[in-house]
Amino acid sequence: MLPSKFVEEAGFPIPWQERDLQKYISDRLTARGFTTRLEAPANGGRADIVTNWQGGAIIECKKYLDRNSIFQAVGQLNLYGLNNTYKLIVMGFLTPDAREQPSALKTASMVEQDGRIQVVFVNLEEEWLPGAKVRISFGKLNFLNLRLPQLPNFHSWHWWFNVAKAHPLILILVGSLFLGILPDIKKFASNTSGTNLEQKAIESAHQE
At a CB cut-off of 8 Å and minimum separation 6, what does 51 contact?
A: 26, 29, 34, 35, 36, 37, 57, 59
> Cα–Cα distance between 119 and 188 in angstroms, integer?
75
What is the model's pTM? 0.65
**What does each of the 208 residues of the chain score in pLDDT, given as a tens digit?**
999 999 999 999 999 999 999 999 999 999 999 999 999 988 878 999 999 999 999 999 999 999 999 999 999 999 999 989 999 999 999 999 999 999 999 999 999 999 999 999 999 999 999 988 766 554 444 433 323 233 344 445 554 555 555 556 555 555 655 556 556 656 655 665 555 555 655 555 555 5
CA angle at residue 110 from 62 to 122, to 5 degrees?
35
